[in-house]
Amino acid sequence: MRQGLNVAEAREWIEGATPVLSAERVGASEALGRVLFEPVVSTRRIPPADCSAMDGYAVRRADLAGAGPDDPVELRVAYEVAAGGRALQALARGEVARIFTGAPLPEAADAVVKQEDTREVGGGVRFLCQPEPREHVRDAGEDIDVGDVVLDPGCVIRPSEIGVLASLGRSLVAVHRRARVAILSGGDELVEVDGDVSGGRIVSSNSYTLFAQCRAIGADPIYLGISRDRPESVEQQFRAALHADCIVSSAGVSVGDHDHVRSVLEKLGCRLEFWGVNMKPGYPLAFGRFEAGDSAGGLCGALVFGLPGNPVSASVTFEQFVRPTLLRMMGHTRCFRPTLQVRVGETLRKKAGRLHFVRITLEEQDGEWVAHATGSQSSGVMRSLTQADGLLVFPLEATELAEGARATVQILDDGFFAAERAGF
Ligand code: AMP
Ligand code: MG
């Protein structure tokens, strides 16, 4: 097992071990945010026939030669076609058809004149202009034709994709499976959210944070509760993680006397790939995997992340390593948070040898983003994570980022670019 990897090495190692999950069919209307597994090829034309884009009159253009506001041409209305209806017959010379938006164009008609460019009179209609060829006509198949590859595999399904699927008559769609993620916590000091915190106990907040971090990306977390600081208890909990695609445990992975996660994983036949990443918060991170078909415990091919116990470390290591892994498993290709180039608001210092993720807020100043640390950077201070817009990357070997220096910030808040005003 390797120890003390740099962040990028750890990321590459994990990427190399990450499988892409197979497909399942789901109701298209439930597929929001999922990743398409196979191409969607149309067996329909949309629109199905030439049809009107306006309320007005279907005409033969030749009948309206020379028509103008001062020189209207009067024609007879032969019949009416509404959306969902059909033209009774082909349009004869000198005839027009009353037509509504979405209604099929009568045979022999070659344009639509919108209602506003006409005047109703006695038994006919006066036209104040001659339309351009095919004006206000939507051509059959103009949007989608038979055989068109409308959606490519790998596309993330948004509301517009759901609308297109519906137009094509697809009530079911093949998407990558959601990753099933077993969430495990361990420690004798931990209780559930409504538990008794007397005697210095604390709530297992990691369970809740990590569960929500899975949910936020459309993964399927399964909460397996809290194990106690005994090998049997830890083992029992890992065995309960049986059919997960990914096991995320927090705490007990360090070097303390009560840290049993690594030894239990080894006992269960998990191949530990590495332990320790040169980062802060979050050094004591373990990554391993069970071979597919592994008999011990029946864990089949699951990836295992043993995250540190400190709440900020757990959340930040999830962000850096688990989140992109789960997204990749679920078929996504854009698996990383967006980054911004910023200026450092006040000088930051650290020792060389670990990459620091500094919790920061951002403010815009003269067209540039300026980052300010959110107070205590202790790995137990969750509150400074709730205040953060993102994490500033303080590189491994750097010891100082002077005020005004350039730095990269990873934006954590999905809503960071959302605005209070339209802006245009
Ligand atoms: P450990 O890795 O077990 O040494 O835990 C490191 C620190 O994280 C300790 O202060 C634990 O109390 C804390 N911790 C461990 N697990 C959790 C959890 N699930 N929720 C909140 N804090 C935790
Ligand atoms: Mg512990």
Distance CA 72, CA 56 (A): 16
Contacts 24+ apart (CB under 8 A), 269-274: 269/294, 269/295, 269/296, 269/297, 269/299, 270/299, 270/304, 272/1, 273/1, 273/2, 273/13, 273/17, 274/1, 274/2, 274/3, 274/5, 274/10, 274/13
Instruction: Say how many Å lie between the CA of residue 251 and the centre of ligand 2.
Output: 5
Distance CA 352, CA 61 (A): 79
Q: Is 256 helix (H, G, I), strand (E, B) or coil?
A: coil
Could you identify the atom of ligand 1 that is nearest to the CA of residue 308? 2
Ligand nearest to the CA of 230: 2
Residues framing ligand 1 (Cβ under 6 A):
185, 187, 189-190, 202, 204-207, 250-252, 254, 256, 308-311
What is the radius of gyration, based on Cα positions, of the chain? 31
Instruction: Output the six-digit token pair for 313.
Output: 């470390």
Instruction: Say how many Å lie between the CA of residue 212 and the centre of ligand 1.
Output: 18
Instruction: Say how many Å lie between the CA of residue 187 and the centre of ligand 1.
Output: 7
Residue carrying the six token digits 């699927």: 165
* Closest residue to atom 14 of ligand 1, CA basis: 309
Could you identify the atom of ligand 1 that is nearest to the CA of residue 251? 2
Of the candidates 9, 36, 13, 11, the residue with the CA atom closest to the CA atom of residue 24? 36
Instruction: Say how many Å lie between the CA of residue 247 and the centre of ligand 1.
Output: 17
Residue 293: the pLDDT is 63
Instruction: Say how many Å lie between the CA of residue 211 and the centre of ligand 1.
Output: 16
DSSP letter (8 states) at residue 274: E
Residue 1: the pLDDT is 86
Distance CA 421, CA 143 (A): 33
Q: Give residue-wise pLDDT tens across range 335-355.
A: 999 999 999 999 999 999 999
Residue 257: the pLDDT is 82
Q: Is 372 helix (H, G, I), strand (E, B) or coil?
A: strand
* Closest residue to atom 19 of ligand 1, CA basis: 204
The strand pairing partners of 246, in sequence order, are 181, 303
Distance CA 305, CA 275 (A): 10
Could you identify the atom of ligand 1 that is nearest to the CA of residue 207? 19
Contact 141, 42 (CB under 8 A): no
With helix as H, strand as E and coil as C, how does 327-368 read?
HHHCCCCCCCCCEEEEEECCCEECCCCCEEEEEEEEEEECCE
Residue 243: the pLDDT is 83
Residue to mutate, 206, 248, 257, 262, ligand 1, most ligand atoms under 8 Å from C-beta: 206
Ligand nearest to the CA of 206: 1
Instruction: Say how many Å lie between the CA of residue 310 and the centre of ligand 1.
Output: 5
Ligand nearest to the CA of 233: 2
Q: What angle do CA 297, 303, 304 make, to 5 degrees?
A: 80
Query: Burial code of 113-138, b = ≥16 C-beta within 10 A, e = fewer?
Result: bbbebbeeeeebbebbbbbeeebbbb
Could you identify the atom of ligand 1 that is nearest to the CA of residue 185? 19
Q: What is the CATH number of domain 2-21+178-329?
A: 3.40.980.10
Of the candidates 365, 280, 270, the residue with the CA atom closest to the CA atom of residue 317? 280
Residue to mutate, 227, 250, 285, ligand 1, most ligand atoms under 8 Å from C-beta: 250
Q: Give residue-wise pLDDT tens across range 157-200.
A: 999 999 999 999 999 999 999 999 999 999 999 999 999 999 99
Distance CA 213, CA 208 (A): 9
Ligand nearest to the CA of 228: 2
Contacts 24+ apart (CB under 8 A), 350-353: 350/280, 350/394, 350/398, 350/399, 351/399, 352/396, 352/397, 352/398, 352/399, 353/278, 353/396, 353/397
Q: What is the pTM of this model?
A: 0.93
CATH says 26-44+149-176 is which class?
alpha beta
Residue 299: the pLDDT is 46
Q: Which fold has domain 339-411?
A: Beta-clip (2.40.340)
Residue 252: the pLDDT is 84
Distance CA 126, CA 64 (A): 10
Residue 300: the pLDDT is 62
Could you identify the atom of ligand 1 that is nearest to the CA of residue 256? 4
Instruction: Say how many Å lie between the CA of residue 294 and the centre of ligand 1.
Output: 30
Residue 298: the pLDDT is 46
* Closest residue to atom 18 of ligand 1, CA basis: 204
Instruction: Say how many Å lie between the CA of residue 311 and the centre of ligand 1.
Output: 7
Could you identify the atom of ligand 1 that is nearest to the CA of residue 284? 2
Instruction: Say how many Å lie between the CA of residue 357 and the centre of ligand 1.
Output: 19
* Domains 51-138 and 339-411 are alike in CATH topology: no
Residue 256: the pLDDT is 80
Q: Give residue-wise pLDDT tens across range 198-223.
A: 999 999 999 999 999 999 999 999 99
Domain range list for the chain: 2-21+178-329, 26-44+149-176, 51-138, 339-411
Average pLDDT value for the chain: 95
* Closest residue to atom 20 of ligand 1, CA basis: 204
Q: Is 296 helix (H, G, I), strand (E, B) or coil?
A: helix
Distance CA 22, CA 260 (A): 33
Question: What are the CA-CA distances from residue 64 to residues 78, 98, 126, 131, 251 (Å)?
Answer: 16, 16, 10, 8, 81
Instruction: Output the six-digit token pair for 61.
Output: 């253009």
The dihedral formed by the CA atoms of 388, 393, 396 and 399, expressed in degrees to the nearest 10? -80
Contact 163, 32 (CB under 8 A): no
DSSP letter (8 states) at residue 267: H
CATH says 51-138 is which class?
mainly beta
Question: Residues in the chain, how many?
Answer: 424
Instruction: Say how many Å lie between the CA of residue 395 and the centre of ligand 2.
Output: 29
Q: Note down pLDDT in tens along the chain; length 424 residues.
A: 899 999 999 999 999 999 999 999 999 999 999 999 999 999 999 999 999 999 999 999 999 999 999 999 999 999 999 999 999 899 999 999 999 999 999 999 999 999 999 999 987 999 999 999 999 999 999 999 999 999 999 999 999 999 999 999 999 999 999 999 999 999 999 999 999 999 999 999 999 999 999 999 999 999 999 999 999 999 999 999 978 999 999 998 887 888 899 999 999 999 999 999 999 999 999 999 998 764 544 446 899 999 999 999 999 999 999 999 999 999 999 999 999 999 999 999 999 999 999 999 999 999 999 999 998 899 989 999 999 999 999 999 999 999 999 999 999 999 999 999 999 9
